[in-house]
Chains A and B, each alone.
Chain A
Amino acid sequence: MKAYSRSTLLERNTSLENTLLERNTSLENTLLENTLLENTLLERNTSLERDVLLEVRDLEVSFQGIETVNVLSGISFSIKENETLALVGETGCGKSVVAHAVMNLLPPESRVKGNIEFRRKNLLGMNEKEMAKIRGKEIAIIFQNPALALNPVYSIGHQLAEPLYVHQKEKKKTALSRAALALKRMGFANFAECMNYYPSWCSGGMNQRFLIAASTILNPSLLIADEPSKGLDKNA
């Protein structure tokens, strides 16, 4: 058989990245893309009557240090099912802070006011245990920096299968095959081999796709994507 060199392999992978955005259109169903705050320019792409999934009202975030810094004020938006909302804005205007506030991930020195409701349940008053039930299964997030968001000591296959073990009590074999399927959906032709890769072996684009696969593997009803296409080719 013909032996491919490693570098050709990588090239093949990068060329496959081109096809990624085409393939995962289903992924964009409930995609709150990261974006604006200050000149609040919210655009809805649907007008159908559906249940409200996430409702944010008068969100105010401030960080308390030596002096208090007001980061966000007066953020209100709502997302219905199968709706995509994009937040667009300059760097540092607080897009990621909104995403983290929804996930209840802000550091303890932050003060959050307002109302964040997911399926009519207030997320802000929840403790870690209640939040853990919602995170992953209901709301998932794709982080900005894929190299840091993947655990360096586990192979990709293990990291993809882990949520399935924990949340759905899957057996090892089914979990791994579902993980492989998720990788295949992400456009990896050599997905079986990718299962055994470690994050430090892979390029930024590959890691970004691993991360997208990991966040979407539980089929969350709301997906927060914090610059999900970073490192991926745009001209699909």
Chain B
Amino acid sequence: MNQSDCTDIPCMKEAGIEGFSEIKSETSNFEFPGEPSSWIFQKQKGFQGLFNWIGVLLFVLFIFLALFPSTFAPYAPEERFMPYEAPSEEHLLGTNDIGNDVLSELVFGARISMTVGFMAALISTLIGTSLGLCAGYFRGVIDELLMGFTDVVLVIPKIPLIIVLGAFLRPSIWILIAILGLLSWESTARVTRSKTLQLREAGYVKSAQCMGFSSYHIMKSDIFPNIIHILFPKFMLATASAMISEASLSFLGLGDVSMKSWGMMLSFAFSQGGFIRDMWWWYMPPGICITLCVLSIALIGFGLEAKEEEHFREGVNTL
């Protein structure tokens, strides 16, 4: 909400808004809490906070790699040099079997791996949230149907299905994204539903109903903002698991050969003899990158979850 719309200077003066910071230090017994929207960025204490910050730093690094690969990579990913070269000053992480620079490949692979992770998580969170909201809000028959459908999807084994589909379809990351997204929304749907069941009895939802708002409007603007703090950690953890699934599927050879992700690099290192000939510079970096990226996302997710518990504990401030 734009504050300037409804705050005019005479009223501010009258209310004593000017010099707000000094006033706060004078009266210690009354404190205005921060705006609810800023809770994501609040600092945490202790080990949890440290891990959280490591996660955030790593994550920012990977995001930069994914967004601006050409500034970090020393060479273009398709440029060719001497194959099987050990790390040197010219090629910090050596070269692979066809003479590509491994560091450049690694940097350019970040975008593909993270795209798959985030897009799949986005799809699964969107589907899970909307189905969970509908099931929890309308209850009754719709709830039974949607939750039954969720149970059916829940028992579909994901990786075998993708292997089967990979045999029939031309492998591409978009199909991978679609399948990973369409098969991993069940837990989000269940969590959203249970929280919606709780919130639909809340006073503000009742009063929104009494103001004559439509069900869609109530779900969108009354229930959804109140469950978004659960969806953030869910989204992050879904991203991490989608990245791991992508890596394992690519390693199995079901990825897109033209889009070289980290999992694809591992797959090539395995099939072209990198493991046997002990070329650690070929298979170690993508493995470490996957681990660190997933770890950073998981750490952020755990931090958000801890924040959510805190958020849950604090009650209505009854002055």
**Within the complex, which residue of A132, A151, A155, A203 is in contact with B222, where a contact is CB–CB below 8 Å?**
A151
A interface footprint on B45-72 (CB within 8 Å = 1, 0 otherwise)? 0000000000000000000000000000
A141 in contact (CB, < 8 A) = yes
Q: Contact at B210–A137, with CB atoms within 8 Å?
A: no
Residues of A162-184 contacting chain B, CB below 8 A: 162-163, 166-167, 172-173, 176-177, 179-180
Q: Is the CB of B211 within 8 A of A152?
A: no
Kindly list chain B residues whose C-beta atoms are within 8 Å of the C-beta of A103: 210
Could you say which residues of chain A place their CB within 8 Å of the CB of B214? Answer: 129, 132
CB distance A196 to B3 under 8 Å?
Answer: yes
Residues of A near B213 (CB, < 8 A) are 132, 136, 162-163, 166
A202 near B: Cβ within 8 Å?
A: yes
Min CB gap A203→B, angstroms: 4
A143 contacts B by Cβ under 8 Å: yes
A201 to chain B, nearest CB (A): 6
A134 contacts B204, CB within 8 Å?
Answer: no
Q: Which A residue's beta carbon lies closest to that of B203?
A: A148
* A residues near B35, Cβ cutoff 8 Å: 198
Task: Tell me, in angstroms, the Cα distance from A192 to B10 when the chains sit together.
Answer: 10
Q: Which of A4-12, A17-25, A47-55, A117-125 contacts B (4 or more CB under 8 A)?
A: A4-12
Q: Is the CB of B210 within 8 A of A141?
A: yes
State whether the Cβ of A140 lies closer than 8 Å to any Cβ in chain B: yes
Q: Indicate if the CB atoms of A3 and B23 lie closer than 8 Å.
A: yes
Q: Is the CB of A134 within 8 A of B19?
A: no
Say whether A133 faces chain B, with CB atoms less than 8 Å apart: yes
State in angstroms the CA–CA spacing of A158 and B24 once bound together.
26
A185 interface contact, C-beta 8 A: no
Q: Contact between B27 and A5 (Cβ–Cβ < 8 Å)?
A: yes
Q: Which of B158-166, B184-192, B290-298, B311-319 contacts A (4 or more CB under 8 A)?
A: B311-319
B202 x A162 contact (CB < 8 A):
no
Q: Does A93 have its Cβ within 8 Å of any Cβ on chain B?
A: no
Contacts of B215 in A (CB 8 A): 128
Task: Find out whether the CB atom of B207 lies under 8 angstroms from the CB atom of A200.
Answer: no
What chain B residues lie within 8 Å of A149 (beta carbons)?
203-204, 206-207
| A85 at the binding interface (Cβ < 8 Å) | no
| B interface residues, how many (CB within 8 angstroms) | 50
Given contacts A176-B6, A195-B7, contact A158 B1 (CB under 8 A): yes
A232 to B6, CA, bound (A): 25
| B206 A105 Cβ-Cβ under 8 A | yes
Give the residue name and chain of the B residue nearest to A146 (CB).
B203
Query: Which B residues from 89 to 108 make CB contacts under 8 A with A?
Result: none
Chain A residue contacts of B208, Cβ below 8 A: 151
Q: What is the size category of the interface that chain A forms with chain B? A: 35 or more
B12:A155 contact, CB within 8 angstroms: no
Known: A5-B23, A10-B30, A176-B5. A200 touches B317 (CB 8 A): yes
State whether A105 touches B33 (Cβ < 8 A).
Answer: no
Which residues in B have their C-beta under 8 angstroms from that of A128?
Answer: 215
Are B30 and A192 closer than 8 Å at their CB atoms? Answer: no
Residues in A with CB closer than 8 Å to B8 are 192
Of B3, B202, B204, most buried by chain A (CB within 10 Å of CB) is B204
A87 at the interface (CB under 8 A from B): no
**Closest A-chain residue to B16, C-beta based?**
A4
Q: Does A157 contact B (CB under 8 A)?
A: yes
Residues of B within 8 A of A129 (CB): 214
- What's the Cα separation between A189 and B215 when bound, in Å? 35
Q: Which residue of A lies closest to B26 (CB)?
A: A5
Query: Does A153 sit at the interface, judged by CB under 8 A?
Result: yes
- Does B36 make an interface contact (CB < 8 A)? yes
A190 to B15, CA, bound (A): 6
Question: In the assembly, what is the distance between CA of A131 and CA of B210, in Å?
Answer: 9
Q: Residue B40 at the A interface, CB < 8 A?
A: no
Least distance between A121 CB and chain B CB atoms (Å):
15
* A190 and chain B: residue at smallest CB distance: B15
Other contacts beyond A7-B30, A192-B7, A201-B33: 12, CB < 8 A: A3-B19, A3-B22, A9-B16, A103-B210, A134-B212, A143-B210, A151-B226, A162-B211, A166-B217, A195-B6, A200-B316, A204-B318
* Closest 9 pairs (CB-CB, A-B): A136-B212, A148-B203, A4-B16, A192-B11, A190-B15, A135-B212, A149-B203, A136-B211, A195-B6
The chain B residues found within 8 Å of chain A, CB to CB, are 1, 3, 5-8, 11-19, 22-24, 26-27, 29-30, 32-33, 35-36, 139-140, 202-204, 206-215, 217, 221-222, 225-226, 316-319
**Interchain Cβ contacts under 8 Å between A and B, 15 examples:** A2-B16, A3-B16, A7-B27, A132-B214, A135-B211, A140-B210, A140-B211, A148-B203, A158-B1, A163-B211, A192-B7, A192-B15, A196-B7, A200-B317, A204-B319
